Structure 1
Amino acid sequence: MNNELQSFLQPAGMAMPRGHYSHATSGGGLVFVSGQLPVSPDGSVLSEAPFEVQARQVLANVSAAVAGAGSAVDRLLHVRVYITDIDNWPTFNKLYEEWAGTARPARAVVPVPTLHYGCALEVEAVALT
C-alpha cells in the first residue's frame, strides 16, 4: 500500500481554495475531497444562483477534484451532502443520479441551517485512486 500523501492545490477547472486546504488529497489508495461549494472556475461564488445551478456547479467541482487527484466519479466510495433546505433534496437527488450514472457510493445527507457564503449546499467525498 502506498502511504505517500500528495496535495492537489489547483486541479484543472477549479478556483484556488479560499482557505488553508487542498481541494483533494490522496494517500493509502484513497482520495479525500474537501467540501465543495458552488464556486465557479473563475472564483465566483454562486450563492445567489438558483438551487439547480448551485448543485450542478458543486457536482462539477467534485468531479474536477477527484479527476485532479487521479480518480473519477465512478470510483467514489462515500459522498456527504450538506443542504440548507431539505425541500431541495428531490431536485438534488435527480441531478446527482444523472451525474453519478451507474456509481452508487454510500451517501449521507445532512440538513444544516447555513453554509459559508450563504450557499445552498456543500458536498464532500471519498474515492479510490
Structure 2
Amino acid sequence: MAERLTRVHAPEGVFPAAQYTHVVHGTGRLVAVSGQLPLDGDGRLVGAGDPAAQARQVFENLRRCLAAAGAGFDDVVKLTYFVTDMAYMPAIREARDAVLDPARLPASSALQVAALVGPGFLMEVEALALVDG
C-alpha cells in the first residue's frame, strides 16, 4: 500500500523539484518494470509522430505490467524516462498526471537519447515499485 512509502520532496540543502520527488523509500517487495514502448497488444506502434498518444500508451502498458505483479501506480517509487527529444516531456507529464497523484510523485530521471530500439519510438519509460511482501 502506498501509505508505507515516505516521500522526501526537498532534503535539506537540495533545491525542491516541482515535477518529481527527490527521495522515496519504504518497505516491501520490489517490482521492476522494463522500459515500456508505445506498442499495442499486437506489437503495433501507437501514435506515430504523436508524443501525447505515445505517452498514453506507454503509461497504459506500465499499468498492465504493474498489475501483473500485483502493483499499481500508487506503489511506484521511481520512473525513468528515455526520450528522443526533451520537448516530449510535457506530454509525458500529462499522461503521468492522469494516472499518478501529482501531490505524491515518485522519484524520477529523464534522459535524452539519440535513438530507441526501433524507428518511430519517441519515448520509453521504466518503473520501480514497492508492494506488500
- Give TM-score scaled by structure 2 length: 0.71
CA contact (8 A) 1:76 1:128 kept: yes
CA RMSD of the aligned region, Å? 1.5
Shift of 1:87: 1.1
Structure 2: which 5+ residue stretches go unaligned?
Answer: 1-27
Aligned counterpart, 1:72: 72
CA contact (8 A) 1:80 1:125 kept: yes
Shift of 1:49: 4.5
Aligned counterpart, 2:115: 114
Aligned counterpart, 1:35: 35
CA contact (8 A) 1:33 1:62 kept: yes
Return structure 1 stretches of 4+ with deviation > 3 angstroms.
Answer: none
Shift of 1:99: 1.9
Shift of 1:47: 6.2
Query: In 2, Cα distance between the equivalents of 1:60 and 1:76?
Result: 14
Structure 1: which 5+ residue stretches go unaligned?
Answer: 1-27
Query: In 2, Cα distance between the equivalents of 1:74 and 1:126?
Result: 11
Query: In 1, Cα distance between the equivalents of 2:94 and 2:43?
Result: 26
- Give TM-score scaled by structure 1 length: 0.73
CA contact (8 A) 2:51 2:122 kept: yes
Match of 1:81, as an amino acid?
A: Y
Query: In 2, Cα distance between the equivalents of 1:71 and 1:96?
Result: 16
1:8-87 → structure 2 map (5 Å cutoff): 29-46=29-46, 48-87=48-87
Sequence identity (%): 33
Q: Which has the higher contact order (CA 8 A, sep 6+)?
A: 2
Q: Which structure has the greater CA radius of gyration?
A: 2
CA contact (8 A) 2:49 2:122 kept: no
Query: In 2, Cα distance between the equivalents of 1:59 and 1:49?
Result: 17
